[in-house]
Structure 1
């Protein structure tokens, strides 16, 4: 049995709280005691070091000890003996001969040569190209040429259309306009003929859409106003857009005063008002316009080369390329469908004076025509399978040309910043970059942009970028390396010398050809005289004519046979190459399966 007893006590009898007040305080003063200094003991601080880095071993090696002795001597004061006057050439020569004849001269030189040879060999053993810092990339002696695709701008429509023309905006090139048109007439009846303006930084959605009533074949920004554009339409008319006023054209030319064929070439003219431009078409007409009055052209020029004064449109030759250089003023150039380039002067009083200068440039239509931005006397023509560089001083032949390409060329343009570089685009989707200062027989860079045919090329004004369009409505923005965009120190002088040398060479050849033609003409005239004297012998004339005809037919047949043999050889080579590739693929598949 557990007995428990609880003791109780009131709270007031224990744990009494303390009461503090201001009056209940104690003040005291503690004075310093010098005697306490003897109880103070100073402890020296203890330093402990830690090492977290790698510990490397130290390797030392002793080299050949070199003893140096400083001997200062002025040759003017003590280099020669006192009895020799150093300014007297005869005395110095006599003293050298005396020293060389001394018996100890050879032994002294043999003792001095080993130490000097050691220093020379040591200097030769030093590699001046050695890289002492592995983390720093060395600059190559020859810069490598390369390019990369920055952005791709695709046609928003489901029905893909080819891009016929590109134009960069003048405000630092932040935008570019692309004209979309369908080259197939059967598929172009959908009714959507929109073209677009793209921003460089936004490849997903176009910046603005232009809505014409028919396809736009060409678009050009006004070089003085980035809000104004002009375009050539498939109906032959020209139109003007102001993007501040919407996507519809603000003014269109009249049909009866426009081109008969689609207007596919249009360029601005350098004028004070900034409203003048001119257009060209396959109908063989060049028309000058003013955006302030676009119903009627201000001037018209017909490319009737046989009788320029008649201005007969029915006999005009179609214009396939157009060019204007702002620094020259009234001069313009146009490429025709028969391969002739016309260098015209708008100040000519008659049509014959306006188209007086002619160049037989290509065998087919002139696809691209452009002057060099720095050397304006030289221009580039692109057509058929070759590109050629011409000089205005040589009219009969070009001064430089590229070898024939396997694929058809569809365009070309000079680099805006580097003098000697120009670009070519082809139907196989390849862009070739040529630099005539480096090599003339092959491009310095060949880029496979896409699998479709390239239709248009436009370099950026700063030279580093270029917009390339293809047949499926895609635009590729390419960036080139400094080797293709930046001029070196002597590039201008070297290119000037190259162009002058080739121009002089072609002038000499032209002079020889003219002399040869003059001789042939003289011989022909004598032959005709002899032929007239021998008119009493008709049988001999008939025999000579028949023999010349048979010889000509034989040569033509021989050329045709050689051409056919070349084609058959190439086809056989392609078939053999495809068979070899097919066999290799089959062997690889068998190896994978096994």
Structure 2
């Protein structure tokens, strides 16, 4: 058997390419001549200067190079006699006192001081080349606020559906879940009810496609497990997904124990097992669930504001917003369709104790409700054309609010990292960024995200990103600048002072209003505001009004008379001045004739 091996070499290693030409030429061979070396003068070294611009200097001038050297010295305590232990404080102090009492001590110190002082002065010399603040980060006084669109995630279906909810995954927020549902029932019926989980880095294709039997209104990631999700369905039921077991729903609640209206609000609860959550709907019910036994709710609360003890479903007020703060245990909040915000406690023994605190927040339905991540006593409400910031210490009025917008607000959320920043979305496709520490009357940044109405907003836990969805099924991933995401050194102190000041102001106003109401109630109890007195006071008011009207008319007539007298006096003065001037002219003419 013959073995054969081929050696290959790239063309680039052969050298310069040979170009052959077809014409006559003469080649001459010139051999080296050693005699020519005598005419060659070797110069070593050879320097050649290159200057790009024109040289104007007559002579070359250069400064002497300054050479620096760093010297270190280790100081050890020495010079002690052998019988003295330098680590024993009493022995060293006693020996020092003995030496200081010696007659030669002062003379010796006077000889050593000049040289020591010279070294100290040399050591204190300032190095002009030293960078004293090299490690200090320079921050500009006014930072520019801006944002940019990172990615756009579009609905793969041809018939575009509205995005009703967004939720970030707990594993560093690399994915987010979006629920797609046409809440307008006039739309064309579609049998495709899929919702998607998207990867941040891949906007072209969904990461996972969820396939329920009916449209999903809300999807929420578990804060402890990135593979578990809960969702509210359009049938009023709640379901659970485990991504490790596929895109199909693994458990669902029973229809008879679920909500009567579409379930559009679900939130996880901070529990030891990590399996509890609660849901709300427009039917006015709040239900607590456990994913280990999802068929029946563990607890139900009906929001009946007239008589909470009756739990009457016919008189319940629809819930339009839901909020839960993990750091506050059993406390929860819900926004109602009549503009009232309920701050409840699940530990209450009766329904009236569970929904004891009420805030008259908006004139219309409360669309968004969220606590500040740092100042949990303060919460944000969004509804109709305004957003308001409330404090739990003030129940009658908010402590801050935005002016009325021209376009309807559809949602809002606090920034996850910067204390004073929150976002608002509107029906015209605009996202507004508000910062209380900079200005309170207008947003610091307004972004035109798209031409369609924005439906939901969810900031990233790291604060720099935010996902915004619109009515046509597109999700926009926005990135904000450091001015909107990073806190400055004194931001927390400044915002604390601002919130405390506004809270005290509202407390003073509430106390005055309470005192006025108490005074009116006391007058009613003593019978001083009966019908007779009221009619007499009404007559007195009418008489006083008539007398004031007569006095006003008299003053008007008097002013008109005075104005007319002034005009007449001015006309008389001008007439007299004209007569005097005419007489003077006549006298001058007579003199000229004579």
- TM-score, scaled relative to structure 2: 0.69
Q: Which runs of 5 or more residues in structure 1 are unaligned?
A: 1-39, 61-137, 535-539, 548-594
1:55 aligned partner: 53
2:187 corresponds to 1:187: yes
2:447 corresponds to 1:447: yes
1:151 aligned partner: 151
Q: How many angstroms apart in 1 are the aligned matches of 2:508 and 2:219?
A: 43
1:563 aligned partner: none
2:196 aligned partner: 196
2:426 aligned partner: 426
Whether contact under 8 Å (1:384, 1:408) holds in the other structure is yes
Cα distance, 1:204–1:533 mapped onto 2, change above 3 Å: closer
For 1:411, what is the secondary structure of its paired residue? strand
1:295 aligned partner: 295
Whether contact under 8 Å (2:523, 2:529) holds in the other structure is no
2:286 corresponds to 1:286: yes
1:531 deviates by 2.5
Q: How many angstroms apart in 1 are the aligned matches of 2:337 and 2:346?
A: 21
User: Counterparts in 2 of 1:355-374, with a 5 A limit?
Assistant: 355-374=355-374
1:141 deviates by 2.3
1:459 aligned partner: 459
Q: How many angstroms apart in 2 are the aligned matches of 1:229 and 1:456?
A: 18
1:308 aligned partner: 308
Cα distance, 1:43–1:374 mapped onto 2, change above 3 Å: same
Whether contact under 8 Å (1:343, 1:355) holds in the other structure is yes
Whether contact under 8 Å (1:330, 1:347) holds in the other structure is yes
1:58 deviates by 5.4
For 1:309, what is the secondary structure of its paired residue? helix
1:207 deviates by 0.4
For 1:225, what is the secondary structure of its paired residue? coil
Whether contact under 8 Å (2:457, 2:466) holds in the other structure is yes
User: Counterparts in 2 of 1:170-185, with a 5 A limit?
Assistant: 170-185=170-185
User: Counterparts in 2 of 1:375-394, with a 5 A limit?
Assistant: 375-394=375-394
For 2:531, what is the secondary structure of its paired residue? helix
Whether contact under 8 Å (2:179, 2:216) holds in the other structure is yes
1:262 aligned partner: 262
Deviations 1:269-321 (A, max 9, x none): 00110000000000000000000000000000000011100101110000000
Q: How many angstroms apart in 1 are the aligned matches of 2:349 and 2:342?
A: 17
For 2:244, what is the secondary structure of its paired residue? helix
Deviations 1:32-89 (A, max 9, x none): xxxxxxxx999643555445551354579xxxxxxxxxxxxxxxxxxxxxxxxxxxxx
Cα distance, 1:394–1:192 mapped onto 2, change above 3 Å: same
Cα distance, 1:52–1:495 mapped onto 2, change above 3 Å: same
1:525 deviates by 4.5
- Of the three residues 25, 42, 45, the one matched with 2:43 is 45
2:242 corresponds to 1:246: no
Cα distance, 1:529–1:449 mapped onto 2, change above 3 Å: closer
Whether contact under 8 Å (1:411, 1:456) holds in the other structure is yes
Cα distance, 1:512–1:151 mapped onto 2, change above 3 Å: same
Whether contact under 8 Å (2:366, 2:383) holds in the other structure is yes
Deviations 1:366-400 (A, max 9, x none): 00000000000000000000000000000000000
For 1:314, what is the secondary structure of its paired residue? helix
Q: How many angstroms apart in 2 are the aligned matches of 1:56 and 1:468?
A: 60
Cα distance, 1:56–1:272 mapped onto 2, change above 3 Å: farther
Q: How many angstroms apart in 2 are the aligned matches of 1:468 and 1:318?
A: 26
Aligned residues: 424
User: Counterparts in 2 of 1:126-137, with a 5 A limit?
Assistant: none
2:329 aligned partner: 329
Whether contact under 8 Å (1:452, 1:470) holds in the other structure is yes
1:74 aligned partner: none
Q: How many angstroms apart in 2 are the aligned matches of 1:441 and 1:57?
A: 61
Q: How many angstroms apart in 2 are the aligned matches of 1:229 and 1:424?
A: 26
2:228 aligned partner: 228
Deviations 1:449-489 (A, max 9, x none): 00111000000000000000000000000000000000000
1:517 deviates by 1.5
For 1:327, what is the secondary structure of its paired residue? helix
For 2:231, what is the secondary structure of its paired residue? strand
1:529 deviates by 5.8
For 1:462, what is the secondary structure of its paired residue? coil
User: Counterparts in 2 of 1:422-571, with a 5 A limit?
Assistant: 422-525=422-525, 530-531=530-531
2:400 corresponds to 1:400: yes
For 2:266, what is the secondary structure of its paired residue? strand
Whether contact under 8 Å (1:182, 1:188) holds in the other structure is no
Q: Which runs of 5 or more residues in structure 2 are unaligned?
A: 1-37, 59-137, 543-594
Deviations 1:510-559 (A, max 9, x none): 0011111222333445567632799xxxxx79x99xx9xxxxxxxxxxxx
CA RMSD of superposed structures (Å): 2.3
More divergent stretch after superposition (403-412 vs 517-526): 517-526
